[in-house]
Structure 1
Amino acid sequence: MQSILESLYYGDLVPQEQRVSQSPEYRGLNEQITESLNHWKKKLAEEDFNELEALTDLYHQVQGIDMASSFTNGFKLGAALMIEVLSGMNPPVPQQGT
């Protein structure tokens, strides 16, 4: 059995692929987004809808960067917590943006 670090290294553990929310609202909101996009696709000229899609693609890219940052910050906080618990010391808590 591989360790977690080995699984990360070999690409067997990809946190971003396991990010589907377990929130009960998630599926409903996704359906609303799909319905809204279909509505705008019918309502807008093809060129205008393509611009809207490009905008949503940019939004998803920014959202992905935000999610990676949140994951990194959460991991650092968790590691600092484990250091504190296991060592009995109080290491500095990583600040946002570091």
Structure 2
Amino acid sequence: MNSLIEQLYNGILCPAEKIVPEDPQYRQVNTDVSETMTDWKKRHSEEEFKELEALLDLYAQIHDMELTSTFTYGFRLGAGLMAEILTGKNELANMLSHFPDDLPGEKS
């Protein structure tokens, strides 16, 4: 088995594809959403349903951005905690968890 760093580099490790909520209500809520969408489609015109889908697509984009930021923050916080633990220097975790996503002069 390759190291985690090698798996990440080679595209084998993709955290976004591996995250599945462990909350016992997750599957039920997911089923409820699917059933509600089906019911909504039956009760509304095709145009109204397309508008709803467009809105949900926008929401999904925002949600993806939020998840990316959450993952980045958590990763930096974890790395900062490890740095503090290993070096004994306080405030590294706090400093690293607030590091900007875009450095001056970098383009996203």
TM range (shorter): over 0.9
Give the letter aligned to residue 8 of structure 1.
L
Partner of 2:49: 49
Give the letter aligned to residue 5 of structure 2.
L
Task: Report the secondary structure of 1:12's partner residue.
Answer: coil
Alignment of 1:41-80 (within 5 A): 41-80=41-80
Provide the rounded CA distance (Å) in 2 between the counterparts of 1:24 and 1:62. 25
TM-score of the pair, normalised by structure 2: 0.85
TM-score of the pair, normalised by structure 1: 0.93
Partner of 1:95: 98
Partner of 1:35: 35
Task: Report the secondary structure of 1:24's partner residue.
Answer: coil
Q: 1:88 to 1:62 in 2, by over 3 A?
A: same
Matched, 1:14 2:14: yes
Q: Which runs of 5+ in 1 are unaligned?
A: none
Structure 1, 49-58 or 87-96: larger mean CA deviation: 87-96
Q: 1:32 to 1:4 in 2, by over 3 A?
A: same
Number of paired residues? 98
Give the C-alpha shift of residue 55 in structure 1: 0.7
Aligned-pair RMSD on alpha carbons?
1.4
Give the letter aligned to residue 55 of structure 1.
L
Q: Which runs of 5+ in 2 are unaligned?
A: 102-108
Q: 1:97 to 1:40 in 2, by over 3 A?
A: farther
Q: 1:77 to 1:92 in 2, by over 3 A?
A: closer
